[in-house]
Amino acid sequence: MPELAINQGVELRNAQLELHRFRVRLAIAFVLVLAVFALLAGRFFYLQVVRHGELHTLAEANRISIVPVVPNRGIIVDRNGTVLAHNYSAYTLEIQPAKVADLERTVDELATVVEIGARDRRRFKRLMEESKGIGSLPIRTRLSDEEIARFAANRYRFPGVEINARLFRQYPQGEVFSHVVGHIGRINQRELDQLEADDRLANYRGTDYIGKTGLEQSYEPALHGTTGVEEVEVDSGGRAVRTLSRTPPVSGNNIVLKLDAQLQEIAYNAFGKFRGALVAIEPATGGVLAFVSKPGFDPNLFVEGIDPQNWSELNNSPDRPMVNRALAGTYPPGSTFKPYMALAALTAGKRTPQQTISDPGFYNFGGHVFRDDKVGGHGLVDMYKSIVVSCDTYYYTLANDLGIDIISRFMALLGLGSTTGLDIKGEATGVLPSQEWKRQRYRRPEQQKWYAGETISVGIGQGYNAYTPVQLAGAIATIANDGVMYRPHIVNYVEDIRSRERTAVEPNPLRTLPVKPEHLEVVKQALIGVNKEGTGARAFAGAGYVSAGKTGTAQVIGLKGEKYVESRTHERHRDHALFIAYAPADAPKIALAVIVENSGFGARYAAPIARAVMDYYLLGKVPTPPKPDKPEEETGDSRD
């Protein structure tokens, strides 16, 4: 069968051809496979060799979480070790708003488990607004053991809510030290920006609090410490698996003050019902022994964020407890200005101690009558008497003779009208009147001109004069220290909590007054005379030490020719009482300035406070509880 054979032959050849073509296609497929595997190999090489470093870093970043460990804040103690600010550990109930769907409802449900008051809610709301809901915010602090147990049993109901052990700042002395020690509070955006600008932000990772006022603010870098770091391995859910390494935090340094807590408290209480300020300085070093601004406030309210109700109470109180009077309050010095005027006149050669004037009880300057407090005048007055009895007329003429330029130049040397450099922020400069000051202060040419009559008011510490109690204390301390002025400072030394190494705030002499010792001696003798036989004599009767002082009364509002009668004047318009003093007179250990707002005569209200402070500081006398305040009848005393 040839046909079949041919067919078979064709078929066989076709089959051969087909098989060949198939194998070619298979070979092409295999080349494709090799090409694709080469592509894969290339990709592996690219990822595992070329980009290995970068991807390895990413893997490490994935698994390692850097957890900051917040250092313990340093504590603040007074010179005797009395604690003024410290930390205690307590449990807080905290909410992470980002993880909670319905905040309102969660808080309501939490309230069924743990007591949550209206104040807690208000404070939480305020924190929410301030933090914009970022982080973990406390809804309740200081949980009791029972509350912790109750929450733990119900924990599953509250995702995003947890209990944390935290260190809290506490100020055991409360309002007495509120304006010295200050307080901390939650870091706000402005402070964050500042920290970033100062390149300190990294050290504040994990830290929620920062010093807001007082020493807590000015010594923030020392108190805060160094934040530690824990390298924690985390899984993709962010849960910590194990700790890889730990750099422990370094606790903040402790701060030891020059301040004497007991002295501070005695001074604070000595004000009784009055508002005011007192600054006491150790003349030889500038160390601040007491720093009172009354009323104060409870700084503990601010630590966890103050609730709006307390906040508005503090802010709207007519007593203005939030104002640091010692630092930022400015007052006319009144007659406490006179010893400096006398010293200026001696130094300028415009007066000798022996020169006397006859005081008729007023001073006529170009038709304008400046009255002395004492009707009929003090008679013949020399420099000593002018200070002891606080004769206005003497200083009216003296001021006119000196002129404003000499006065302002000399007062500037005493630190009046400029910040003292105290180690708390927020110091006011006050006003030291001068021609230059007036030119800058006023816009209209007729207002910019200095009038000679204005010099006369300035001469008795009135007029434009306005100084802070810190400046007034600094000035009298300078006199007490024979003209050598030190920068006042509250902190004695900073102590490293581990090495116990102390870094002292060194006494820092600012300047020495260009005055002759014999001139200084004249003024100092007169100041002693004030407390012995003058306006301060009653307050210092029977003191076991020789003291020097000067009373002052600063007018709050000008009285146009009327006789000032304390009992008839509205309380807020009454005069401020002032007193500057130092003791012991021969080797002063304490110098101070007191101002009692709207009380009346300096001799009656301010001097006794100074006496109480000095009695304790020099003799260790603790005052007996104050007697009930009984109004004294008008005695017709001099106002100074």
Partner 1 sequence: MNPAIRRLGGYLTRHVDGLLLGAVVTLMVVGIGVLFSASNASVVRVSAQLMNMLIALGTMWVFANIPPQHLRRLALPLYVLGVLLLVGVALFGEIANGARRWLNVGITRIQPSELMKIAVPLAMAWYFDRHETALRLGNYFVGAVMLLVPVALIVRQPDLGTAMLISASGFFVLFLAGLSWRVIIGLMIAGVAALPLVWSLLHDYQRQRLLTLVDPSQDPLGAGYHTIQSTIAVGSGGVLGKGWMNGTQTHLDFIPERTTDFIFAVFSEEFGLLGNTVLLLLFLFVIARGMVITANASSLFARLLAGAITLTFFTYAFVNMGMVSGILPVVGVPLPLISYGGTSLVSICLGMGILMSIATHKKLVQT
CA atoms within 13 A on the CB side of 188: 12
Q: Is 241 in the site for partner 1 (CB under 8 A)?
A: yes
User: Would you call 344 helix, strand, or coil by DSSP?
Assistant: helix
Q: Are 601 and 576 in contact (CB under 8 A)?
A: no
CB nearer partner 1, residue 39 or residue 134 = 39
Q: In sequence order, what are the residues at sequence separation of 6 or more whose Cβ sits closer than 8 angstroms to the Cβ of residue 93? A: 110, 114, 138, 139, 140, 141, 143, 147, 151, 161, 162, 163
CB 138 within 8 A of CB 119: no
CB of 236 vs partner 1, minimal distance in Å: 4
Q: Which stretch, 19-27, 168-176, 514-522, 614-622, contacts partner 1 (CB under 8 A)? A: 19-27
d(CA 477, CA 509): 12
Q: Using CB under 8 A, pick the residue from 8, 16, 48, 512 that binds partner 1.
A: 48
Peptide bond into 295 cis (omega under 30): yes
Separation in Å, CA 551 to CA 263, 535, 630 = 21, 7, 22
- CA-to-CA dists, residue 159 to 103, 110, 156, 338, 467, angstroms: 11, 11, 7, 70, 57
Beta-strand ranges (E) seen in 24-73 are: 64-69
Please give the angle made by the CA atoms of 342, 586 and 617, to the nearest 5 degrees: 105
- Write the DSSP string, 406-429: HHHHHHHHTTTTS----SSS----
CA atoms within 13 A on the CB side of 38: 6
Q: Are 172 and 83 in contact (CB under 8 A)?
A: yes
| CB of 52 or CB of 502, closer to partner 1 | 52
Q: Give 236 or 499: the residue with its C-beta nearer to partner 1.
A: 236
Interface region with partner 1, contact rule CB under 8 A, candidates 58-66, 437-445, 531-539, 605-613: 58-66
Minimum distance of partner 1 from residue 228's CB (angstroms): 23
Interface pick for partner 1 out of 90, 103, 163, 234 (rule CB under 8 A): 234
Comparing CA positions, the residue from 169, 167, 184, 109 lying closest to residue 139 is 109
The least CB distance from residue 18 to partner 1, in Å, is 7
The smaller minimum CB distance to partner 1, of residues 65 and 419, is found at 65
List 6, 60, 134, 503, residue binding partner 1 (CB under 8 A): 60
CB of 240 to partner 1, least distance (A): 11
Q: What is the sign of the dihedral through the CA atoms of 429, 435, 441 and 447?
A: positive
Q: Which is nearer to partner 1, 58 or 369 (CB)?
A: 58
243 contributes a contact to partner 1 by CB under 8 A: no
Q: Does 52 bind partner 1 (CB under 8 A)?
A: yes
Chain residues 214-233 in contact with partner 1, contact rule CB under 8 A:
233
The answer to whether 63 contacts partner 1 (rule: CB under 8 A) is yes
Dihedral angle, C-alpha 407, 412, 413, 418, nearest 10 °: 160
**Can you tell me which of 9, 13, 54, 439 binds partner 1, judged by CB under 8 A?**
54
Determine, following the binding rule CB under 8 A, whether residue 99 of this chain makes contact with partner 1. no
Q: Is 451 in the site for partner 1 (CB under 8 A)?
A: no
Nearer to partner 1, 24 or 153 (CB): 24
Q: Is 55 helix (H, G, I), strand (E, B) or coil?
A: helix
Q: Parallel, antiparallel, or unpaired for β 137-140 and 161-170?
A: unpaired
Of these, 8, 11, 502, 541, which contacts partner 1 (CB under 8 A)?
11
Shortest CB 56 distance to partner 1, Å: 4
Q: Report the residue number, 33 or 375, with the smaller CB distance to partner 1.
A: 33
234, 63 contact by CB (below 8 A): yes
Exactly one of 6, 13, 14, 517 binds partner 1 (CB under 8 A); that residue is 14
The reply to whether 13 sits near partner 1 by the rule CB under 8 A is: no
CB 243 → partner 1: shortest distance, Å?
14
User: CA–CA separation, 371 vs 456, rounded Å?
Assistant: 11
Q: What are phi and psi of 156, to 5 degrees?
A: -55, -25
Q: How far is CA 138 from the centre of its chain?
A: 25
C-beta closer to partner 1: residue 32 or 504? 32
> Under rule CB under 8 A, how many of the chain's residues touch partner 1?
39
Distance CA 531, CA 541 (A): 8
- Tokens linked to 212: 């807001």
Identified binder of partner 1 from the candidate list 6, 59, 134, 153, rule CB under 8 A? 59
In angstroms, what is the minimal distance from the CB of 48 to partner 1?
4
Closest approach of partner 1 to the CB of residue 16, in Å: 13
Which CB sits closer to partner 1, 57 or 440? 57
Measured from the CB atom, is 26 or 557 closer to partner 1?
A: 26
Q: Does 43 bind partner 1 (CB under 8 A)?
A: yes
CB of 148 to partner 1, least distance (A): 31
> According to the binding rule CB under 8 A, does residue 516 interact with partner 1?
no
55 binds partner 1 (CB under 8 A): yes
Q: How far apart, in whole angstroms, are the C-alpha atoms of residue 405 and residue 363?
A: 21
CB atoms within 10 A of CB 596: 29
For partner 1, the binding residues in 127-156 under the rule CB under 8 A are none
Among 9, 12, 13, 21, binds partner 1 (CB under 8 A): 21
Candidates 9, 13, 18, 152: give the one binding partner 1 (CB under 8 A). Answer: 18
Query: At closest approach, how far in Å is the CB of 23 from partner 1?
Result: 5
Q: Classify 230 as helix, strand or coil.
A: strand
* Cα 82 from Cα 254, distance rounded (Å): 12
> Token pair for residue 95?
């909410």
Under the criterion CB under 8 A, does residue 44 sit at the interface with partner 1? yes
Active-site annotation, residues: 335
Q: Which residues contact 90 (CB under 8 A, 6 or more apart)?
A: 141, 142, 143, 165, 166, 168
Interface characters, 22-41, with partner 1 (x: CB under 8 A): xx-xx--xx--xx-xx-xxx
Q: Does 16 participate in binding partner 1 (rule CB under 8 A)?
A: no
Complex with partner 1: residue 42 or 221, whichever CB lies closer? 42
Q: How far is the CB of 37 from partner 1 (least distance, A)?
A: 6
The residue from 8, 9, 16, 51 that contacts partner 1 (CB under 8 A) is 51
Residues lying near partner 1 in the complex (CB under 8 A): 11, 14, 18, 21-23, 25-26, 29-30, 33-34, 36-37, 39-41, 43-45, 47-49, 51-52, 54-56, 58-60, 62-63, 233-237, 241
